[in-house]
Structure 1
Amino acid sequence: MSPTARFRALPLRSRLALLVTVAVALAVAAVAAVSWVMVRAQLRDQLDSSLRATNAGAQANQVFDAFGGCVSGEALPERPANNLSAQVQIVLPDGKTCWVDGKNTLKATAIDREVAQRLRGPVLYDSTTSDGVPVRVYTQPALVNRQFAALSVAKPLADVDKPLSTLAWVLLLVSGIGVVGAGAAGLWVARTGLRPVDELTGAVEHIARTEDLTVRIPDEGDDEIARLSRSFNSMTAALASSQDRQAQLIADAGHELRTPLTSLRTNIELLARSEDTGRAIPPDDRRELLASVKAQMTELASLIGDLQELSRPDAASPGPLGVVALHEITGAALSRARLRGPELSFDSDLAPWYVRGEAAALERAVVNVLDNAVKFSPPGGAVEVTLRAGELTVRDHGPGIPAEDLPHVFERFWRSPSARALPGSGLGLSIVARTAARAGGSAQLRAAADGGPGTEAVLRIPGAPTPPPADPSVVPDQ
């Protein structure tokens, strides 16, 4: 398993703690490294400044005069005390060295000879003493006993390396403590920060195990976890509402199906008993039974069709959308309504109106509105249909709907107490409202505007009185 896969296999809490620890460790390491480098540069600068400030020229001349010339370090078994706290020697142009001060002599380099020969100016560099001790050397031109030479002053690099070594150990110790503390803090932060997530996970697991959608998670605050909790609570509330609506739909559908099925079963049993016993049913009664069976079958088919229409998700499109002529759809629906109410008169005034929607669904909605008007119109009554600026109004002259019933007319399976004896499933107006909403409009039932008897059904669907121009980029099928 790759490191990435192993990391992803860890629990989220462990991953967060590990990421915090690594981030802090990198930050501490970067700060420690920068601090060490800056301190090292500062100490080296101080060492170089002290080398430049060392005045060894006078002592060099004194030693030179005292011994009557150049003296090598090896020729002095007991050397004078080190008054300058440094290694000092003279380098002549031919490379010969003359001891001035210090416990050890320095290695003469080509750099020293170039300075003695006046080929370069003062220079700082790292070197070693004769016994291998690392030193920092400052070589500058000098005039010793009236002859050109180079004066080299050196101090041990241990003056810098020892503090740096101590600092490195201190930084390492502090970094280690910081990383361990960061790991502990990261684990605590992960546990504290993920506690709401644990609650959310527990709620989800409880819902999955018990299907109890009444569980709610505390959502105090305005942070992301609180927003997630509120979203989860909204989701479970919507699911609970959907579940309740589904259960209510099933119960209402069962109730509505029971009546036609019972009547259908009774009629079929009478017909079957007549065939089994050989006792003929009078022709008129038989025709009534068959007509009743046909009517009940038609009602069942209509109810099942309405249930299928309402069972589709609101977001799902029932068919291809396009620009359709609402006035033509209304005219076709009027033709069907005249067949269902031949004793009624239909007055229509339809102005052109084009909308974007699904033609079959819109025609079904208009047919449902007209069927409602036909059902409640008295014999010989009139139905008035007008279409103006996207507002389709269907007026009947029936008994009307009580004001307290108007808020419920678009609910599924709801039927006014005065209409329970009439045929219908109580789903027609629900389909009307749903279709209008899909087309971007609305549906309304209200009392007649002139104060007379009857009800007005109003469909408002946005559109235009003229069809939109054809898109020139669309090439029609050949």
Structure 2
Amino acid sequence: MRPAARFRALPLRSRLALLVTVAVALAVAAVAAVSWVMVRTQLREQLDRSLEATNVGAEVSRTLMQKYCLPPPQQDLQQIAGNLSATVQIVLPDGSHCWVAGPTALPVTKADKEIAAGKRGKTLQTVTTPEGVEMRVYTIPVVVPNTGEVFGGVSIAKPLADIDKPLSTLAWVLLLVCGVGAVGAGAAGLWVARAGLRPVDELTDAVEHIARTEDLTVRIPDAGDDEIARLSRSFNSMTAALASSQERQAQLIADAGHELRTPLTSLRTNIELLARSEETGRAIPPDDRRELLASVKAQMTELASLIGDLQELSRPDAGAGSPLQVVALHEIAGAALSRARLRGPELRFDSDLRPWYVRGEAAALERAVVNVLDNAVKFSPPGGTVAVTLRAGELTVRDHGPGIPAEDLPHVFERFWRSEPARALPGSGLGLSIVARTTARAGGSAELRAAADGGPGTEAVLRIPGAPTPPPSDLSVVPDQ
């Protein structure tokens, strides 16, 4: 397994702790390395400045003028160099040199010869003695005071061990600090991982509890504005939405069971009467038999309608994502009006349908308009008038029935809700719920209100955005947004 794959296989807490440890360890190591380099540079600069500050040139120049550079080194030169606490060596232009003071002689370099010959100025360099000791050497020319002539050069040197030993000690100290920092970073990483992932652990426990008990009332503390708090709030919102959906489903099942009980009870009673008549041989009077069969047929029709409405409402997002077509709302309303005339032949229908094109589903829109017209037919008195108008995207259906009390208007679009007068009439209480959902999917709204002219009856108003003329044919189908 590759290292990356092995790392991904670790638990999140271990990965976070490891990342924190590595990050802090690298930071400590980088700081230690930079500190060591800076100290080394400072010590080198101090050593160079101490060599450059050594004032030996004039005295050595006078001595050279008097005695030249002949071995063995003169006692007075040794005394001068002894006061310097450094290695001193005199270099002549031909490369010969005289050791003056110090633990060892210094090798003569090309730069030393050029300085002794007057070809270049002073220089700082690092050399290694025959004994293997690294020395920092400062070489300057020796000038005769009166003539200004360069007579030779003087090399002043100090061992680099003077700074290497402190640097070595510092390196061990920094290494120890890095080790302690890495261990501390590991402990801090574990603590950070444990503290930072505590809300995630709570979230995990809540999810496992919900999966085990199906209890959607569990809430996670979501104080704060960080990502974990946002995640907790999102989870709480999700569980609240699921609980609400579960409650609506339970309510839908309960309401559906209640609504189904009435037609099923009536069907069972009528069928039992017909069956008992066949079993006992006692014939039911023809008129009563026709009424029983008509009742069975009506109850079956009502049951089929109720089941269809339940199927429509059982899928809250039915049709979502499918393309919406540009359809002629006035033609849909005309087709629905034709069906309403068949259901209410004793009623008078006045219509004024002006062209209006909308984006929606033709079948769903027609069903919504039919539901509104069915209500108007159901509550209109015999010989009454139903007025249907479509103007600028507002479809209005006006009946002259008993009307709806003002306190009931806010509830008319709720599932299975039926007013007191309507409970004695056939219906499931789902028609207006379907109307509201269909118009909302088309981008519009539905409203039931008292008649605008103050007379008896109710006005159902469907407002759907659109245009009085159809768009170009290539735009007749648009995706649902």
What residue number does 2:24 align with? 24
CA RMSD between the two structures: 2.6
Write the mapping of 1:444-455 to structure 2, written as runs, cut at 5 A.
444-455=447-458
What residue number does 1:140 align with? 140
CA–CA distance in 2 between the matches of 1:112 and 1:473?
96
CA-CA distance at 1:267 after TM superposition: 2.7
What residue number does 1:400 align with? 403
- 387-396 or 136-145, which deviates more: 136-145
Q: In the alignment, is the contact (CA less than 8 A) between 1:141 and 1:148 conserved in 2? A: yes
CA-CA distance at 1:276 after TM superposition: 4.2
CA–CA distance in 2 between the matches of 1:387 and 1:336?
17
CA-CA distance at 1:277 after TM superposition: 4.4
What residue number does 2:182 align with? 179
What residue number does 1:466 align with? 469
CA–CA distance in 2 between the matches of 1:315 and 1:43?
80
What residue number does 1:112 align with? 112
What residue number does 1:298 align with? 301
Is 2:125 the partner of 1:122?
Answer: no
Amino acid in structure 2 at the alignment position of 1:425: S
CA–CA distance in 2 between the matches of 1:330 and 1:32?
84
Alignment deviations for residues 153-199 of structure 1 (CA, whole Å, 9 cap, x no partner): 11110122122222222222233333333332332233223222222
Write the mapping of 1:330-369 to structure 2, written as runs, cut at 5 A.
330-369=333-372
Q: In the alignment, is the contact (CA less than 8 A) between 2:58 and 2:142 conserved in 1? A: no
Is 2:53 the partner of 1:53?
Answer: yes
What residue number does 1:240 align with? 243
Can you give the 5+ residue segments of structure 2 that lack an aligned partner in the other structure?
none
Q: 1:64 to 1:355 in 2, by over 3 A?
A: same
CA–CA distance in 1 between the matches of 2:257 and 2:231?
38
CA–CA distance in 2 between the matches of 1:117 and 1:61?
14
Alignment deviations for residues 312-359 of structure 1 (CA, whole Å, 9 cap, x no partner): 133742854111111111111000000011111111111211111111
Write the mapping of 1:279-294 to structure 2, written as runs, cut at 5 A.
279-294=282-297
Amino acid in structure 2 at the alignment position of 1:168: A
- 27-36 or 175-184, which deviates more: 175-184
What residue number does 1:380 align with? 383
Q: In the alignment, is the contact (CA less than 8 A) between 1:13 and 1:191 conserved in 2? A: yes
Alignment deviations for residues 285-311 of structure 1 (CA, whole Å, 9 cap, x no partner): 333333222222221221111111111
Amino acid in structure 1 at the alignment position of 2:6: R
Q: Secondary structure at the match of 1:246?
A: helix
CA-CA distance at 1:388 after TM superposition: 1.5
Q: In the alignment, is the contact (CA less than 8 A) between 1:18 and 1:183 conserved in 2? A: yes
Q: In the alignment, is the contact (CA less than 8 A) between 2:325 and 2:476 conserved in 1? A: no
CA–CA distance in 2 between the matches of 1:454 and 1:72?
137
Amino acid in structure 1 at the alignment position of 2:226: D
CA–CA distance in 1 between the matches of 2:226 and 2:321?
40
Is 2:445 the partner of 1:442?
Answer: yes
The count of corresponding residues between Structure 1 and Structure 2 is 472
Structure-1-length-normalised TM-score: 0.91
Structure-2-length-normalised TM-score: 0.91
Write the mapping of 1:217-236 to structure 2, written as runs, cut at 5 A.
217-236=220-239
CA–CA distance in 1 between the matches of 2:464 and 2:172?
80
Q: In the alignment, is the contact (CA less than 8 A) between 1:63 and 1:100 conserved in 2? A: no
Q: In the alignment, is the contact (CA less than 8 A) between 1:326 and 1:354 conserved in 2? A: yes
Q: Secondary structure at the match of 1:452?
A: coil
CA-CA distance at 1:13 after TM superposition: 2.5
CA-CA distance at 1:240 after TM superposition: 0.7
Is 2:172 the partner of 1:151?
Answer: no
Q: In the alignment, is the contact (CA less than 8 A) between 1:377 and 1:396 conserved in 2? A: yes
Q: In the alignment, is the contact (CA less than 8 A) between 1:93 and 1:149 conserved in 2? A: yes
CA-CA distance at 1:66 after TM superposition: 7.8
What residue number does 1:256 align with? 259
CA-CA distance at 1:468 after TM superposition: 2.1
Alignment deviations for residues 355-376 of structure 1 (CA, whole Å, 9 cap, x no partner): 1111111111000000011111
CA–CA distance in 2 between the matches of 1:7 and 1:393?
67
Q: In the alignment, is the contact (CA less than 8 A) between 1:390 and 1:460 conserved in 2? A: yes
Alignment deviations for residues 23-78 of structure 1 (CA, whole Å, 9 cap, x no partner): 122222222212211221121112112222222324534665786632267x99x9
- 101-110 or 392-401, which deviates more: 101-110
Aligned pair partner of 2:203 in 187, 200, 204: 200
CA–CA distance in 2 between the matches of 1:355 and 1:316?
17
Aligned pair partner of 2:393 in 390, 394, 403: 390
Q: Secondary structure at the match of 1:420?
A: helix
Can you give the 5+ residue segments of structure 1 that lack an aligned partner in the other structure?
none
CA–CA distance in 2 between the matches of 1:320 and 1:161?
81
Is 2:163 the partner of 1:164?
Answer: no
CA–CA distance in 1 between the matches of 2:363 and 2:388?
20
Q: In the alignment, is the contact (CA less than 8 A) between 1:216 and 1:233 conserved in 2? A: yes
Q: In the alignment, is the contact (CA less than 8 A) between 1:79 and 1:103 conserved in 2? A: no
What residue number does 2:327 align with? 324
CA-CA distance at 1:279 after TM superposition: 4.2
Amino acid in structure 1 at the alignment position of 2:264: L
Alignment deviations for residues 2-34 of structure 1 (CA, whole Å, 9 cap, x no partner): 222222233322322222222122222222212
- 214-223 or 198-207, which deviates more: 214-223
Q: 1:473 to 1:103 in 2, by over 3 A?
A: farther
Q: In the alignment, is the contact (CA less than 8 A) between 2:387 and 2:399 conserved in 1? A: yes
Amino acid in structure 2 at the alignment position of 1:235: M
CA-CA distance at 1:218 after TM superposition: 2.2
Q: In the alignment, is the contact (CA less than 8 A) between 2:136 and 2:158 conserved in 1? A: yes
CA–CA distance in 2 between the matches of 1:171 and 1:113?
42
CA–CA distance in 1 between the matches of 2:476 and 2:43?
78
CA–CA distance in 2 between the matches of 1:470 and 1:25?
68
